[in-house]
Amino acid sequence: MALQAGDKAPDFTVNDQDGNPVKLSDLKGKKVVLYFYPKDMTPGCTAEACNLRDNYRFMQKQGYEVLGVSTDNEKSHRKFIEKEKLPFRLLADTNKVMHDAYGTWVEKSMYGRKYMGTARVTFVIDENGVIEEIIGKVDTKNHAAQILKNEATAPVKAVVKERPAKKTSAVKKVKKAAPKKVKKASAKAKPARKAAVKRKK
């Protein structure tokens, strides 16, 4: 039977990218974002990881611990973390123990070919180890907003609004200064023309 919101999250002990065992029950008291993704360094998985990375500090302030899970090994996870500067741990579920427990090892299809692989699913687990939410339709570029209900994007919007104001004020200053220079130049030119006329006479 597939897991549902309100179910107890299956416990696990799986190594992270550095070979350190991570146990869900040891994280009791923290909210856990457990996100399953197909493969390290692929476009969709990179977009998802980077979005969580960019909002990681904000998520920590809200009390969340982020853990990524795939069937890639520890070495692959380390490369992915180093390349994208990911601040959270990635779990190497090479034996698919977690995948079996969470029902994320599924049959997939590409170009008519069927194969087994990781479903892109995120489990939001509360402080007591109970599944609070299951996100099956992941928006890889805005996944943090899906988890935090758009709160994670608030700081970014504030920064974007400030930039146009600085540019417009700079343009106005240039426009005001330009006519003054032109007036001075034309004022100097008038006496020179009168002197030329007198010489001809």
Q: What is the set of active-site residues? A: 45
Contacts of 108 (CB under 8 A, 6+ apart): 114, 115, 116, 117, 119
In whole angstroms, give the CA distance from residue 127 to residue 108. Answer: 33
| Residue entry with tokens 């692959």 | 76
Question: What number of H helices and E strands is found in the chain?
Answer: 6, 9
Question: Which segments of the chain are extended strands (E)?
Answer: 13-15, 21-23, 31-36, 64-70, 89-92, 105-110, 113-118, 121-125, 131-135
Contacts of 162 (CB under 8 A, 6+ apart): none
How many Å is the maximal CA-CA distance in the chain?
Answer: 110
